[in-house]
Amino acid sequence: MNVVFTEEFASQQFDDEPLFELMATNIAHQGYSIHPNALPPSLLNNLYQYVQTMSDGQFKRAGIGREDNLMLNNFVRKDEVCWINGESDAGKIWLDWSASLQRYLNQHLFLGLFSFESHFAHYSPGDYYKKHKDAFKGEANRVLSLVVYLNSDWLQEDGGELVIYQDETQEEIVKVMPSFGTIVAFLSEEFPHEVLPAHRDRYSIAGWFRVNTSGIDKVDPPR
């Protein structure tokens, strides 16, 4: 697929509501939601162009665990990440879009999503992320995980699928190819998942909506 958009096409008004509604329904009924080619073309185009211009130096080895207890663990994950703070236009557009998704989900599912953190991720050939959960029960913090893929012409033999498992049985629920424009959302505490080894460069955005865990002696500002 050649990802070229004309100005006219890119500037057309895109109605997010049908996708948001589907996502809310899926999440309410099954806890996860997967939609190929569902994002606004202008958003995708911006993110795709931006990720092409990023240099290897902007990506840093990803850690596991909380920020104050970060561990680098080659066995668990090998990808590199770059946190999105809204400094680039693409980052801003992405954060605006995810904020409108957050508003929609809060209005329709009463999830109480309070903040959002996200990063670009780059898996070089051979990189993977072993089975893990994005949040743990009782540490209610990350509530909803969101992943968007930015790889054109991804083929079966390129590997790098996201595999989502049932929590109790550890049975595989679904395998998702990281194809351009596919969006995945799932409840962070409910679904173990992994990224199978990629056989070519694999680019994505992973993000997490969090609830407010502020206490009397703790402030929990959005990142």
Among ligand OGA, Mn ion, none, what does residue 105 contact (CB within 5–8 Å per kind)?
none
**Sign of the alpha-carbon torsion through 118, 14, 150, 51:** negative
Provide, rounded to whole angstroms, the least separation between the CB of residue 121 and ligand OGA. 6
Among Mn ion, ligand OGA, none, what does residue 210 contact (CB within 5–8 Å per kind)?
none
- Window 183-222: contact mask with ligand OGA (x via CB under 6 A): ----------x-x--------x-x----------------
Provide, rounded to whole angstroms, the least separation between the CB of residue 52 and ligand OGA. 18
Q: Using alpha carbons only, what angle is made at residue 201 by residues 120 and 11, rounded to the nearest 5 degrees?
A: 55
CA pair distance 95, 180, nearest whole angstrom:
19
Q: Do you know the residue count of the chain?
A: 223
CA pair distance 74, 50, nearest whole angstrom:
27
Helices (H), 37-170: 41-53, 89-109
The nearer residue to ligand OGA, 134 or 158, going by C-beta atoms, is 134
Give the one residue of 50, 97, 129, 209 binding ligand OGA; rule: CB under 6 A: 129
- Window 85-124: contact mask with ligand OGA (x via CB under 6 A): ------------------------------------x---
Contact between 147 and ligand OGA per CB under 6 A: yes
Contact between 134 and Mn ion per CB under 5 A: yes
Contact between 162 and ligand OGA per CB under 6 A: yes
Biggest CA pair distance of the chain = 53
Count of Cβ atoms closer than 10 Å to residue 132 Cβ: 12
Q: Which residues contact 59 (CB under 8 A, 6 or more apart)?
A: 80, 81, 82, 120, 122
For the chain, first and last CA: distance in Å?
A: 35
Provide, rounded to whole angstroms, the least separation between the CB of residue 118 and ligand OGA. 10
Which positions lie near Mn ion, rule CB under 5 A? 134
State the residues that interact with ligand OGA by CB under 6 A. Answer: 121, 129, 134, 147, 162, 193, 195, 204, 206
